[in-house]
């Protein structure tokens, strides 16, 4: 037992270190000078300058990309969670046929590789005139994140006592009143978990953002950073600074609310 515990601890530490290493390296690079970035051998301890942060904001319009990402990710999260609440409650509580088929279909849709649906999505958005628009990116994101939201919320709704709904019906509440006045407040950890996961996906997504947003005025943060260009070389310092700005809020969000996230993801895993 002692050896297995040491082995498990060592493996956990290794996974954490390997996961954090790229982020730590980019954060370290963002605080270096231009000379330190190109130095051989590499300089491990940066001088602590914020020149790359200022350059990414002033010369590469980083704040504009952040604004676009906030609009797209925030709208996607709101729409997805509202639809997932309704669908998750229906699948968890209402009597309906083929629930298993519906849940299986949702799971199957979420496993489709993005490249397999890129052509049809692009043609639909072109026909609607939604290319290079916020709604043109929000619509595919909602479609891609909705299965995750429904699965998380349906599992959480199943954990809540059915007696609460029975009491609400006796008081004259309909399904929607029961859902939004009683069930959703009690299921807040699950709703919060789903919202965080959806926001992270929409904030980090690159493929559809690159495909749909070809104009810089609508490009989101991942695409904007990827298209940073220097006159003769890649501006690695500015890329590192922008990547750090894009990542730190998500890391803090997950760190601060990790207990709620774990609770939401584990909902329905244990009965009794």
What's the pLDDT score for residue 266? Answer: 64
Residue 41 lies in a domain: yes
Residue 165 lies in a domain: yes
**Pick from 91, 81, 109, 110: nearest CA to 194:** 81
Are residue 162 and residue 27 in the same domain, yes or no? Answer: no
**Pick from 193, 171, 161: nearest CA to 85:** 193
Residue 5 lies in a domain: yes
Task: Tell me the residue range of the domain where 178 lies.
Answer: 59-265
Residue 38 lies in a domain: yes
Residue 88 lies in a domain: yes
Are residue 30 and residue 107 in the same domain, yes or no? Answer: no
Between CA 185 and CA 136 the distance in angstroms is: 32
Residue 99 lies in a domain: yes
Q: The tokens of 146 are what?
A: 């909705």
What would the DSSP string read from start to end of 195-240?
A: HHHHHHHHHH--HHHHHH--SGGG--HHHHHHT---SSS--HHHHH
Between CA 131 and CA 136 the distance in angstroms is: 6
Are residue 64 and residue 39 in the same domain, yes or no? Answer: no
Domain end (from 10, 28, 49): 49
Are residue 5 and residue 117 in the same domain, yes or no? Answer: no
Are residue 3 and residue 138 in the same domain, yes or no? Answer: no
Are residue 244 and residue 128 in the same domain, yes or no? Answer: yes
Q: How many helices (H) and strands (E) does the chain have?
A: 15, 0
Are residue 148 and residue 209 in the same domain, yes or no? Answer: yes
- How many domains does the chain contain in total? 2
Element (H, E) at 106: helix 99-110
CATH for 186: 1.10.3720.10
Please tell me whether residue 172 adopts helix, strand or coil conformation: coil
Residue 272 lies in a domain: no
Are residue 102 and residue 233 in the same domain, yes or no? Answer: yes
Are residue 24 and residue 70 in the same domain, yes or no? Answer: no
Are residue 30 and residue 145 in the same domain, yes or no? Answer: no
SS (HEC) of 28-68: HHHCCCHHHHCCCCCCCCCCCCCHHHHHHHHCCCHHHHHHH
Are residue 86 and residue 162 in the same domain, yes or no? Answer: yes
Walk along the chain (272 residues) and give the pLDDT tens digit of each residue. Answer: 577 788 888 888 898 888 888 888 889 999 998 888 888 888 888 888 899 999 999 889 999 999 999 999 999 999 999 999 999 988 888 777 777 788 888 878 778 888 888 999 999 999 999 999 999 999 999 999 999 899 889 888 888 887 887 787 787 777 788 888 888 888 888 898 899 999 999 999 999 999 999 998 999 999 999 988 766 678 889 999 999 999 888 888 888 877 777 766 665 554 44
Are residue 184 and residue 216 in the same domain, yes or no? Answer: yes
Residue 197 lies in a domain: yes
């Amino acid at each position: 037992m002692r050896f297995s515990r040491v082995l498990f601890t060592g493996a956990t530490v290794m996974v954490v270190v390997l996961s954090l290493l790229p982020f730590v390296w980019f954060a370290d690079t963002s605080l270096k000078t231009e000379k330190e970035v190109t130095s051989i051998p590499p300089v491990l301890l940066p001088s602590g300058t914020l020149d790359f942060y200022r350059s990414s904001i002033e010369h590469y319009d980083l704040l504009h990309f952040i604004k676009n990402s906030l609009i797209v990710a925030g709208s996607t999260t709101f729409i997805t969670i509202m639809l997932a609440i309704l669908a998750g409650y229906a699948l968890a509580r209402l009597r309906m046929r083929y629930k298993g088929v519906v849940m299986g279909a949702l799971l199957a849709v979420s496993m489709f590789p993005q490249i397999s649906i890129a052509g049809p999505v692009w043609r639909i958005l072109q026909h609607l005139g939604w290319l290079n628009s916020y709604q043109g990116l929000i619509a595919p994101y909602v479609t891609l994140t909705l299965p995750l939201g429904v699965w998380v919320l349906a599992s959480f709704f199943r954990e809540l006592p059915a007696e609460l709904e029975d009491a609400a019906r006796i008081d004259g509440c309909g399904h929607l009143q029961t859902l939004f006045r009683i069930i959703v407040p009690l299921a807040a950890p699950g709703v919060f978990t789903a919202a965080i996961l959806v926001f992270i996906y929409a904030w980090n997504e690159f493929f559809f953002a690159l495909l749909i947003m070809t104009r810089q005025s609508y490009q989101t943060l991942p695409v904007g950073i990827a298209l940073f260009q220097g006159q003769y070389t890649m501006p690695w310092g500015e890329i590192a600074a922008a990547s750090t700005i894009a990542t730190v809020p998500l890391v803090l969000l997950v760190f601060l609310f990790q207990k709620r996230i774990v609770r939401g993801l584990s909902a329905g895993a244990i009965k009794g």
